[in-house]
Amino acid sequence: MTELDDLRYPIGRFCMPANSGPDARAAHIQVLRELPERLTAAVAGLDDAQLDTPYREGGWTMRQLVHHVADSHANSYIRFKLALTEDWPTIKPYEEAAWAKLADSRMPIDVSLVLITALHARWVSLLESMSGEDFSKGYNHPENGKQTLAVGLAIYDWHSRHHVAHITALRARQGW
């Protein structure tokens, strides 16, 4: 792994877990339950100059990362609901980098932290209500093919930890 990879993937790249059984799913759900608190703690006390610092050269700022988590997790939550109510729907991907450049990604992060807190309360409630059979449902991703909800859950466990680690790693490097 290169230094750039270390900065881009502070917890490593996503690897498909060997197990997607009930215990593994419960652990993934726990990560999603804890994300709002962990993300809020990761950015606590950062001023605007710090929030506008990229986590790596050419990377997103701390502010953009927080808003990205809100955008990405809202998309995933909707994809889960589509997969639970339709037969393998084809979902619409979105241009994450373009979204990160929109004006709302320059807003105060509290807006997205509140959204993430509310969204995760609903998402965790939905996830905890799902049966094992529900996790075998899924959607067609035009770029990544068929994805079950068990895989989607594992991805968003990783995604949650991945972006919190971007923030905490930058803080550690900068001594913030």
Q: What is the pLDDT of residues 105-124, one digit of tens each?
A: 999 999 999 999 999 999 99
The pTM score is: 0.95
Q: Residue 91 carries which side chain, given as an amino acid letter?
A: I
Nearest to residue 147, comparing CAs of 13, 36, 14?
A: 14
Beta bridge partners of 138: 148
Q: Which residue has the higher pLDDT, 26 or 6?
A: 26
**Pick from 38, 82, 46: which is nearest to 62 by CA?**
46
Between the two ends of the chain, the Cα-to-Cα distance in Å is 26
- Return all residues near 46 (Cβ < 8 A) that are at least 6 apart: 62, 171, 176
Alpha helices by DSSP H, 44-108: 48-51, 62-85, 96-99
Q: How confident is the model at residue 29 (pLDDT cuts 50, 70, 90)?
A: very high
**Which is nearest to 170 in space by CA: 19, 53, 72, 20?**
53
pLDDT of residue 1: 55
Q: What is the residue-averaged pLDDT of the chain?
A: 96
Condensed to tens digits (0 to 9), the pLDDT of residues 127-155 reads 999 999 999 999 999 999 999 999 999 99
Domains by residue range for the chain, with CATH? 23-174 (1.20.120.450)
